[in-house]
Amino acid sequence: MKKFNVLIVGGGSTWTPGLLKAICSRQDTFPINRLVMYDINYERQKIIGEFAKVLFKEEYPDIHFSYTTDKEEAFTEDIDFVFVQMRTGGYEMREKDEKIPLKLGVIGQETCGPGGFAYGMRSIRDMIQLVKDVRSKTKDAWILNYTNPAAIVAIALQQMFPDDKRILNICDQPENLLRSYGRLLNMNERDFDPVYFGLNHFGWFTHLYDPQGNDKLPELREMILKNGFRPADYEQRDKSWLETYAMVQQMVRDFPDYLPNTYLQYYLYPDKVLKKLNPDFTRANEVQAGREKRVFEDCVRVAETGTAKDSNVVANDAHGEFILIVAESIAYNKGDNFIVILKNDGIISNLPDDAMVEVAASITSNGPRPYAVGEIPTFYKGLIEGQYAYEKLTVEAYMEGSYAKALQALTLNRTVVSAAKAREVLDALIEANKEYWPELR
């Protein structure tokens, strides 16, 4: 079996230890020759890098591992896969993305609404640079990208690199949902053959076939209507995520056709969700006090004690597993079905060809081979078209340095609606993002 060279960009992420554990547990199905972790933040990279050394010594002794903040060392000609999970501006800026809109009475969230807009305007620059850095060394490496907001990043990369067939934008949330359905139905998430349509963080499951070809969605809908909905790993989840999943019940009650992505709560019930969000303590703060603290403390402890055996950083989370099984399917031309982000080109026949949609596809060594969705009903089409217009205008605002387009984008967003509010939030975000955004004129 060929062994692969992998580069992780954003090696200092709170998600990295889970990914490293998944790399260990999948070494027979996705063997790695050399693994390099790269981050611009040496402090964070070092802590997780030292953890990785101990983990690999115990669980993956033949892997060649190193970590670096040096681009020259990170980007090489022989890379096969680049796993990207960068966060431009770090949690400091995530906190601002959430708090600035909230203080003005609008949803403040990592990827949805004005927070997602702000984050998108930051991510585009670094993601374009990342692709250039990789491509300056190799045309062959696959770039698997988790960087958020994935919907906006995907449009920007599609515009900048239209002929690059080895960039794939992915999100673990559909996978998280499949795991949650699996737990309810007592099934493994891989045994589902899902039909899904929409944009990233803005989509719906329409069918969920089991290996015998039975659609399990009607049964799930009844279960959710009756008993509510929880994440598969609810024992490990913070309060805000449990509340988010719980909202699925109301979404299914109001719009019972399909099963919604949890992120739709921000667009369908902005008033209701806004009341639950605390402008002084947002998800960024919750992560910093929870996952970030736990992960970094645990990594330091593992490096000190010299063993990762009793490490309690998350193992087998969807985030770490999903990117690896997608990579495996590409590496060995397995053709497994996953929900990924792709240029529409007729997959959803009544949406524009250039939309970057999230759908199920067979993942092969020649890239994703999507399954046709066909026409979608007016309500969903209307929602998606509005959201897509917002995303596209965001990318155009960035590329053209256009204040007018930024204002149009935010006005179109269902979490904002009022043009006066959009302007107020935009001006505050411009101020906070001076270091990162192009100048908007």
Residue of 32, 54, 141, 171 that binds Mn ion (CB under 5 A) = 171
Counting contacts by CB under 6 A, is residue 247 touching ligand G6P?
A: no
The least distance separating Mn ion from the CB of residue 263, rounded to whole angstroms, comes to 8
3-state class (DSSP) for residue 206: strand
Main-chain dihedrals φ then ψ at residue 280, nearest 5 degrees:
-100, -10
Helix (H) or strand (E) holding 123: helix 113-135
| Gyration radius of the chain over CA positions | 21
CA dist., res. 11 & res. 241, Å (int): 24
Closest to Mn ion by CB, 36 or 170: 170
Helix (H) or strand (E) holding 51: helix 42-59
Instruction: Find out whether 377 and 257 touch, Cβ atoms under 8 Å.
Output: yes
The annotation status of 94 as a binding-site residue, yes or no, is yes
Contact code string over 309-348 relative to ligand G6P, x by CB under 6 A: ----------x-----------------------------
The reply to whether 390 belongs to the active site is: no
Sign of CA dihedral 68, 74, 78, 82: positive
Taking CB under 5 A as the binding criterion, the range among 67-75, 173-181, 325-333, 411-419 that sits at the site for Mn ion is 173-181
The annotation status of 122 as a binding-site residue, yes or no, is no
Cα–chain center distance at 176? 11
The annotation status of 171 as a binding-site residue, yes or no, is yes
Sign of CA dihedral 167, 168, 169, 172: negative
The reply to whether 172 belongs to the active site is: yes
Taking CB under 5 A as the binding criterion, the range among 164-172, 189-197, 355-363, 375-383 that sits at the site for Mn ion is 164-172
Query: Among ligand G6P, Mn ion, none, what binds residue 287 when CB lies within 5 to 8 Å by partner kind?
Result: ligand G6P
- Count of residues interacting with ligand G6P (CB under 6 A): 8
Contact code string over 272-311 relative to ligand G6P, x by CB under 6 A: -----------x---x------------------------
CA dist., res. 255 & res. 354, Å (int): 27
Counting contacts by CB under 6 A, is residue 98 touching ligand G6P?
A: no
Instruction: List the catalytic residue out of 97, 172, 298, 317.
Output: 172
Counting contacts by CB under 5 A, is residue 173 touching Mn ion?
A: yes
CA dist., res. 167 & res. 157, Å (int): 8
Q: By CB under 6 A, what part of segment 170-189 binds ligand G6P? A: 171-173
Taking CB under 6 A as the binding criterion, the range among 166-174, 270-278, 321-329, 384-392 that sits at the site for ligand G6P is 166-174
Closest to Mn ion by CB, 202 or 258: 202
Instruction: Find out whether 157 and 128 touch, Cβ atoms under 8 Å.
Output: yes
Q: What is the DSSP string of 244-311?
A: HHHHHHHHHHHSTTSEEPGGGHHHH-HHHHHHH-BTTB-HHHHHIIIIIHHHHHHHHHHHHHT--TT-
- The residue written with tokens 């794939």 in the block is 168
Q: By CB under 6 A, what part of segment 136-155 binds ligand G6P? A: 148
Q: Which residues are annotated as a binding site?
A: 94, 148, 171, 201, 283
Residues contributing to the site for Mn ion (CB under 5 A): 171, 173
Catalytic center residues: 172, 263
